Amino acid sequence: MIEWDDFAKVDVRVGRVVEVSDFPEARKPAWKLRIDFGPEIGVKRSSAQITNYARHELEGRLVLAVVNFPPRRIGPFLSEVLTLGTFRGDTVLLVDPDAGAEPGDRLG
């Protein structure tokens, strides 16, 4: 069990995917995403193993991401946020915020 204060340290925000790029250098199939988290946080990059989504399904989509982990190098790419999803076998399904959410809104 964790304490509430432990959970409160995790900063999960709503972002809007503004760009999806191929990531051929990744060991496991993945997209490179640019996600806009609003004026306070700005645009951050994420590597996401969500290739079960087509590029057009991701561009403009609202997602949830952890924005306060340290950046992580994935091959030649620096991933700055962790885009959240659930697992069904080897498939990652994105966690969707409500359609009324805005980039920068905090989960809490």
Residues 66/35, Cβ–Cβ less than 8 Å: no
- pLDDT band of 54, cuts 50, 70, 90: very high
- State pLDDT tens for residues 63-72: 999 999 999 9
Domains and CATH numbers, the chain: 11-94 (2.40.50.140)
Q: What is the mean pLDDT of residues 42-63?
A: 96
* pTM, full prediction: 0.94
1 DSSP assignment: -
